Copies of this chain bind each other. A is one copy, B any other.
């Protein structure tokens, strides 16, 4: 009998684990980029109590609560990630369960990871809207394909 699809002996599950771990680390890294940008710009705070003087805010002033483009850009990137990565994480897991070919899984999951990383690179370097749009589209189509594939297999097995 074949191994369960969620086994570390199954090639496609390993592909998924690598793609998922990279995307989880990317999500966490984006939070830390926001922290870094808040410290570097000494701005972009969100809460009134953050104006209390202390080790991380030695020179508090009300302007620190205003929207700071440098900090907010990192938050916008994270919001965009949150609109895409959690859906990918679950779609990929379910895709593994329907036992796709390793080649297809590698191609789809690798494409998603690369498209998402390039999307952030384009966002950070303020590339034009069209470039971000293309990279968003590629990642989105991967998730949509996996969702439809899973749906069709599951409905056919009911």
**A residues lining the B interface (CB < 8 Å):** 4-8, 11, 13-14, 17-18, 20-22, 24-25, 27-28, 31-32, 35, 45-50, 52, 54-57, 69, 73, 76, 78, 82-84, 86-87, 89-91, 93-94, 97-98, 123, 126-130, 133, 136, 140, 143-144, 147-148, 150-151, 153-155, 157-158
Q: Is the CB of B129 within 8 A of A17?
A: no
Please, how many angstroms separate the alpha-carbon atoms of A94 and B35 in the complex?
A: 27
Distance of A150 Cα from B6 Cα, bound (Å): 14
A52 with B129: CB separation less than 8 A:
yes
Pick the contact of A130: B46, B54, B123, B140 (CB < 8 A). B54
Residues of B within 8 A of A24 (CB): 87, 90-91, 143, 147
Question: When the two chains form their complex, are residues B129 and A47 in contact, meaning their CB atoms are under 8 A apart?
Answer: yes
Nearest B residue to A89 by beta-carbon distance? B90
Which one, B28, B48, B93, B157, contacts A144 given CB within 8 A? B28
A25 and B148 form a contact (CB under 8 A): yes
Q: Are A32 and B126 in contact (CB under 8 A)?
A: no
Q: How far is the CA of A84 from the CA of B32 in the complex (A)?
A: 12
Question: Which chain B residues border A49 with CB–CB below 8 Å?
Answer: 126-129
Known contacts A17-B94, A21-B150; decide if A27 and B89 are in contact (CB<8 Å). Answer: no
Chain B contacts of A143 at CB under 8 A? 24, 28
Minimum CB–CB distance from A42 to chain B (whole Å) comes to: 12
